[in-house]
Amino acid sequence: MPSHPTPEPTLTPLAHGALHHCFGCGMENRSGLGLKFFTDPEGHIVCHARLGRRFAGPPGHAHGGIIATLLDEAMSKANRARGVVAMTRHLEVQYLRPVPLGHPITLTARHMEASGRRHHCQAQIADSSGQILATGKAVFVAIDPDHFAANYDRGSRPK
């Protein structure tokens, strides 16, 4: 009997209200990652990406700081998908295998639990075969978005 690939679940674009100059997802930041995030039917975050050479660390592979940024960005969107605006308090990364440049990768993230203003999330980066390259978990602290916006202008500089 022939095997058929499992179709990817229907993904919905995440309207996350990002700052336009955000390094991770801001479309006006020409030097940023330009990530586009989606939610799957279970409410998990999904992002398909391909990293360019400007994000190099070891030859042909992503810099560890970029890997941490990818995981952090995906987890922040897991909060946003729940209507929570939060700042990273603690981030832990497990670098399992080098993340290749120029090849498709998939970020996934999910919100695990909340306790007061603290939100716990997990994320991972996988290659096109599904092999996990890096994982992360983080604690975020919810903030009042109005207070945050009142202290920064559109260019993200303190007033």
**Burial 122-158, CB ≥16 within 10 A → b, else e:** bbbbbeeeeeebbbbbbbbebeeeeeeeeeeeeeeee
Q: Kindly list the structural domains of the chain, giving each domain's residue range(s) and its CATH number in brackets, ordered by start.
A: 12-150 (3.10.129.10)
For residue range 1-42, list pLDDT tens digits in order: 444 444 466 888 887 555 567 776 767 777 778 789 999 999
Query: For residue 27, what pLDDT is reported?
Result: 73
Confidence of residue 131 (pLDDT cuts 50, 70, 90): very high
Query: For residue 159, what pLDDT is reported?
Result: 46
For residue range 87-128, list pLDDT tens digits in order: 999 999 999 999 999 999 999 999 999 999 999 999 999 999
Mean pLDDT of 40-47: 93
